[in-house]
Amino acid sequence: MAARLRLISTFAAVALLLAMPSMAGAGKYNPVLDIGDKAPEWSKLPGVDGKQHSLSDLKEKDVVVVVFTCNSCPYAVDYEDRLVAFAKSHCGEDSNVALVAINVNTIPEDQPEEMAKRARAKSFTFAYLFDESQEIAKKFGAGATPEFFVLNRDRKVVYMGAMDDNPAAKKVTRRYVEEAVEAALDGKHPEMKETVPIGCRIRFERRRRKR
């Protein structure tokens, strides 16, 4: 039965991809964005700090790292310590790099109150935002948690995909996001520009069409 359900899910996913319109600007693994595309902007998204956040607030930063994440995905939870370490190393007060985490899941475990608890428990020093509409994830073409996008000074995408090459922290040999950040700070493009995001599927809500 389990194997049959997995097979059905696979066919459903393939059917969904085939049903999606072809997008000339799509990347290798991203259905919406390609490397070099202008990043979609978010505006007035509520954060766990009680404030509203927009991409334009970060205009002084040379590089912005966006990660779509959540509380409920085991992969996302496993990456929290890596996010905290990255923010500590690269996103200090005098740094030209910003890290922004965005959650679009709407299940109880991922509601703003739970996000705030998680941020306090893990001592997040970066913005953790909530988008109930889920539109910003759709505009980025994000489908997994965690999924990363590195934006350069012009807010163009220079990298998208996984944070590194292994979900197991002790087995990581290559840190894609850090490589992309360093390249962007130097005004260059990273060697690795796109990878397959590894994680849980974003829980997009199915909205009924109005008759």
- pLDDT at position 15 is 34
DSSP track, 26-93:
--SS-SS--TTPBPPP--SEEBTTS-EE-GGGGTT-SEEEEEE--SS-HHHHHTHHHHHHHHHHH--T
Classify residue 101: in a domain, yes or no.
yes
Q: What is the CATH number of the domain that holds 77?
A: 3.40.30.10
Q: Please say whether the dihedral angle defined by the alpha carbons of residues 120, 105, 129 and 86, taken in this order, is positive or negative.
A: positive
Given a contact cutoff of 8 angstroms between Cβ atoms, the answer to whether 69 and 103 are in contact is: yes
Classify residue 34: in a domain, yes or no.
yes
Give 125-128 contacts, CB < 8 A, sequence gap 24+: 125/84, 125/87, 125/88, 125/91, 126/83, 126/87, 126/91, 126/98, 126/99, 126/100, 126/101, 127/47, 127/49, 127/53, 127/98, 127/99, 127/100, 127/101, 128/47, 128/48, 128/101, 128/102, 128/103
Classify residue 4: in a domain, yes or no.
no
Question: What is the chain's pLDDT, residue by residue, as a tens digit (211 residues)?
Answer: 444 333 333 333 333 333 343 344 688 999 999 999 999 999 999 999 999 999 999 999 999 999 999 999 999 999 999 999 999 999 988 899 999 999 999 999 999 999 999 999 999 999 999 999 999 999 999 999 999 999 999 999 999 999 999 999 999 999 999 999 999 999 999 999 999 999 999 999 986 555 5
Classify residue 210: in a domain, yes or no.
no
Classify residue 192: in a domain, yes or no.
yes
State the pTM of this model: 0.86
* Structural domain range at position 137: 25-201
Nearest Cα neighbor of 150 from 142, 141, 140, 160 is 160
- pLDDT at position 125 is 97
- pLDDT at position 27 is 87
Given a contact cutoff of 8 angstroms between Cβ atoms, the answer to whether 151 and 64 are in contact is: yes
- pLDDT at position 195 is 98
Classify residue 64: in a domain, yes or no.
yes
Classify residue 19: in a domain, yes or no.
no
Query: Which residues are registered as beta bridge partners of 147?
Result: 68
d(CA 107, CA 73): 11
The DSSP element (H or E) to which 161 belongs, if any, is strand 157-161
Q: How many domains does the chain have?
A: 1
d(CA 48, CA 121): 12
Classify residue 17: in a domain, yes or no.
no
CB-facing half-sphere around the CA of 183: CA atoms within 13 A: 17
